[in-house]
Amino acid sequence: MLRPCPWRTPMLLYDPDIAIRFSAYGFQIPDPGDRAARVICDLLEPGSQTTEPDTASTECHLDGARQSVLLEPASAEDLARVHTPEYLDVILSDDPSPALHVVYELFDEQGRPNRYDPAAATLPLTDLVDRARRHVAGTIRAVAIALDPANAGRFCYFLGGGMHHGMAGEGRGFCPFNDIVAALRAARAADTAKRFWIIDTDAHRGDGTAALCLEDPDTATLSIHMASGWPLDGPFCEADGRLHRARIPSTLDIPVAEGCDAFYLPALEKGLHTLESVTHANWNGAGPDAAIVVAGCDPYKHDELPSARPLQLTLEQLGQRDRLVHRFLAQRSIPQAWIMAGGYGSRAHEPVTQFLRYAASNGLI
Ligand SMILES: [Zn+2]
């Protein structure tokens, strides 16, 4: 008898054709491979990984899992809720290279290629934009599924998304768009939710999300991140004297200094309670209608992106992190949409697999 295959449920969104392989565009950035596919493969292989038992069905077939969802690119309307017309005119054009050169820092200040060999590219940059738009669509759908009253677990995990550095008028930090803010604004446009928490545990500060939500009274943002390094290694002020866009505050920022990994989990737990207190005060005792969790894997000690080295969390610590956030939200009956966010190198899928085993063991996917 076939056991139910959790990857056929819509609570785990997986599109086999949205991986952004840096090498295909000539980018010389540590490549996580097809991280979502590696997660699916690990979930389908009993005993191949860590913590929670009895989650993988040997009767599941990868081909079946690959039917999970095929995303259409996010519409121009979805993107226009976040990004300026001037930026969209460039990045959605037939030649998005001027925008993507900034997003991926492909040239240095002297105009020399930086981690970039265009001659090695096998796909055009328009292909990258198309895939990024489908990541935006996935996050929008994950939020919609988490909010669906028919979804008893009020949970959805999208194996993609997390482009938290995207600003209104520019992409940056490998983030051509900001799918997180696009998703919450899409939910508002559909009148399915108003108030949101964004809980960002990526190693890098969620500066784009913070900037986009600064004047949004119905969104509260928490970012726990490296205290130093990109994007916090630049000046404090822009050329015109305003606070640098990378430093525009979240509702709650929790910088973790290098060598202080032992304080990460206690700081996050305290931060979640602080987020709740602050928002209850601002929202007359109400909580959020939903939370978006930007569950970056680059705080992992085996992550290979040099700029993420200041955080060195173990797989067990990352498991504790993700379970802490999930339980905090579940105990308050807050619908939660999780997205994958940063993670670089050959082991970047491991924290995701670990958490999804936990999610499966709790009947969430
Ligand atoms: Zn990151």
Q: Tell how far the Cα of 231 is from the centroid of ligand 1, in angstroms.
A: 10
Per-residue confidence (pLDDT) for residue 218, from 0 to 100: 98
Q: How confident is the model at residue 307 (pLDDT cuts 50, 70, 90)?
A: confident
Q: Tell how far the Cα of 285 is from the centroid of ligand 1, in angstroms.
A: 33
**Closest by CA position to 185, among listed 177, 176, 194:** 194
Per-residue confidence (pLDDT) for residue 68, from 0 to 100: 64
Q: Tell how far the Cα of 342 is from the centroid of ligand 1, in angstroms.
A: 4
Q: Tell how far the Cα of 200 is from the centroid of ligand 1, in angstroms.
A: 10
List phi, psi (to 5°) of 85.
Answer: -60, -35
Peptide bond just before 85 cis, omega within 30 deg: no
Contact of 144 with 192, CB cutoff 8 Å: yes
Q: Which domains does the chain have, with CATH numbers?
A: 6-361 (3.40.800.20)
Q: Tell how far the Cα of 207 is from the centroid of ligand 1, in angstroms.
A: 11
Q: Tell how far the Cα of 93 is from the centroid of ligand 1, in angstroms.
A: 27
How far separated are the first and last CA of the chain, in Å rounded? 20
Q: How confident is the model at residue 47 (pLDDT cuts 50, 70, 90)?
A: low
Per-residue confidence (pLDDT) for residue 53, from 0 to 100: 32
Lookup result for tokens 């669906």: 148
CA distance 142 to 133: 14
Q: For 93-100, what is the mean pLDDT?
A: 96
Contact of 290 with 199, CB cutoff 8 Å: no
Per-residue confidence (pLDDT) for residue 46, from 0 to 100: 58
Whether residue 289 has pLDDT greater than 60 = yes
Q: Tell how far the Cα of 140 is from the centroid of ligand 1, in angstroms.
A: 20
Token readout for 105 is 């820092």
Q: Tell how far the Cα of 308 is from the centroid of ligand 1, in angstroms.
A: 7
Q: What percent of the chain has pLDDT over 70?
A: 91
Token readout for 53 is 């038992």
Q: Tell how far the Cα of 165 is from the centroid of ligand 1, in angstroms.
A: 9
Compute the C-alpha angle 172/173/178, nearest 5°.
60
Q: Tell how far the Cα of 305 is from the centroid of ligand 1, in angstroms.
A: 9
Per-residue confidence (pLDDT) for residue 137, from 0 to 100: 97
Task: Classify the phi-psi angles of 5: left when phi > 0, otherwise alpha if psi is within -120 to 50, otherwise beta.
Answer: beta
Whether residue 1 has pLDDT greater than 80 = no
Q: Tell how far the Cα of 202 is from the centroid of ligand 1, in angstroms.
A: 5
Q: For 108-115, what is the mean pLDDT?
A: 91
Which of 5-14, 18-27, 72-81, 145-154 is least confident?
Answer: 5-14
Token readout for 239 is 């050329």
Whether residue 197 has pLDDT greater than 70 = yes
Per-residue confidence (pLDDT) for residue 29, from 0 to 100: 83
Whether residue 3 has pLDDT greater than 50 = no
Average pLDDT over all residues of the chain:
90
Q: Tell how far the Cα of 298 is from the centroid of ligand 1, in angstroms.
A: 6
Q: pLDDT per residue over 117-128, tens digit each?
A: 999 999 999 999
